[in-house]
Amino acid sequence: MANVEQSEGVILNKREAVHRNPKVIAVTSGKGGVGKTNVVGNLAVSLAKMGKSVVILDADLGLGNLDVLFGVVPKYTLEHVILGLKTLPEIMIPGPCGIQILPTSSGSEDFTHLTPEQKLVLLSELDRLENAVDVFLIDTAAGISSNVLYFNTVAQDIVVVVSPEPTSISDAYAIMKILSLRHGEKRFKLLVNMARSTRQSLDVYRKLSLVADRFLDIGIDYVGFIPQDDYLRMAVFEQKAVVELFPGARSSVVFTDLADKVMQWPSNDLPKGNCQFLWKRLLNGSNSMEKC
Ligand SMILES: Nc1ncnc2c1ncn2[C@@H]1O[C@H](COP(=O)(O)OP(=O)(O)O)[C@@H](O)[C@H]1O
Ligand SMILES: [Mg+2]
């Protein structure tokens, strides 16, 4: 009996090691320039500092700049993967603290609206990658294009980044509305960036929850806020993550806390972010993906 239990234990451990469900998190916004790329980059480095294996995907196809944030120059990009010329591991470039970057090209219009076939190629590649990853962060483009909607539906958690500007708030509402009405997304995490105070940040959250409660059937979880921080801007100019260059800066401290929080978010047994699961849904003829 002891032997059976022991061998079952070994099998379970092996299974755990081979298949650890990664957290798949999309970072999105309605409006551009609100800080998505910086959130993804700094959160990734903070998670890596905690010993997590992190992959970041630049999903702003055609206008990606995650590589620029880290001062790395990609030879191959996601576009090569979509064309079937390269695999994801072949285009990956190492970033700070062991993070892995899946870069995209900049200045090409060809992939701004992925076809269903191109999405399938990407999905199956992601599927093969996910076992070795703890956290998979997706930096989406701004707006409500089909690519943005698609990458959000692939994720398990959707973090909506918003700044206190009224235009950013109304655009954040717009993206949540479309994701909820057209794609059945019901839960969003709100991260307020460039806020001056907790009060200002909570005010943004209240405004959005009020309209969402009234007009949409969704739940918005307040994740917190990242302060307006000149050190972050300086780090951008140095093409480094602020958590790396100025670990004591106010924003860096918040990113470190955020990384802790992220690791506490529950992971589902059948996560939406598990691409295998999506793949099966797709093969079973669910039309939810066709709408993406
Ligand atoms: N917390 C912050 N404090 C100060 N400046 C910020 C902060 N977050 C973002 N920025 C500024 O905003 C710019 C745009 O950020 P970025 O992450 O590229 O936005 P997005 O990816 O949403 O377009 C950055 O280059 C930086 O100068
Ligand atoms: Mg960006």
How many angstroms from the chain centroid is the CA of residue 283?
Answer: 24
For ligand 1, whether the C-beta of 58 sits within 6 Å is no
| Ligand 1, atom nearest to 229 Cα | 3
| Ligand 1, atom nearest to 32 Cα | 23
Ligand 1 pocket test target in 204, 233, 254 with most atoms within 8 Å of CB = 233
**Taking the model in full, what pTM does it have?**
0.88
Which sign, positive or negative, has the C-alpha torsion 199, 202, 208, 212?
Answer: negative
Ligand 1 centroid to residue 62 C-alpha, Å: 19
Parse the chain into domains and list their residue ranges. 22-283
For ligand 1, whether the C-beta of 223 sits within 6 Å is no
Q: Please state which CATH number belongs to domain 22-283.
A: 3.40.50.300
For ligand 1, whether the C-beta of 33 sits within 6 Å is yes
* Cα–Cα distance, 154 to 267 (Å, whole number): 14
Residue nearest to atom 9 of ligand 1 (CA): 35
| Ligand 1, atom nearest to 60 Cα | 21
Q: What is the pLDDT of residue 20?
A: 61
For ligand 1, whether the C-beta of 232 sits within 6 Å is yes
Per-residue pLDDT of the chain (292 residues; tens, 9 = 90+): 444 333 434 333 333 434 467 899 999 999 999 999 999 999 999 999 999 999 999 999 988 899 999 999 999 999 999 999 999 999 999 999 999 999 998 877 778 888 988 988 888 888 887 667 999 999 999 999 999 999 999 899 999 999 999 999 999 999 999 999 999 999 999 999 999 999 999 999 999 999 999 999 999 999 999 999 999 999 999 999 999 999 999 999 999 999 999 999 987 544 454 454 444 344 333 333 332 2
Dihedral angle at the C-alpha atoms of 257, 45, 77, 133, nearest 10 degrees? -80
Q: Which amino acid is at 15?
A: R
Ligand 2 centroid to residue 8 C-alpha, Å: 46
For ligand 1, whether the C-beta of 162 sits within 6 Å is no
For ligand 1, whether the C-beta of 172 sits within 6 Å is no
For ligand 1, whether the C-beta of 196 sits within 6 Å is no
For ligand 1, whether the C-beta of 9 sits within 6 Å is no
Ligand 2 centroid to residue 65 C-alpha, Å: 6
Phi and psi at residue 128, to the nearest 5°: -75, -25
For ligand 1, whether the C-beta of 233 sits within 6 Å is yes
Please list, residue by residue across 92-116, b when 16 or more beta carbons sit within 10 angstroms of its beta carbon and e when fewer do.
bbebbbebbbbbbbbeeeebeebee
For ligand 1, whether the C-beta of 29 sits within 6 Å is yes
Ligand 1 centroid to residue 239 C-alpha, Å: 12
How many angstroms from the chain centroid is the CA of residue 116?
Answer: 21
Q: What is the pLDDT of residue 40?
A: 98
For ligand 1, whether the C-beta of 247 sits within 6 Å is no
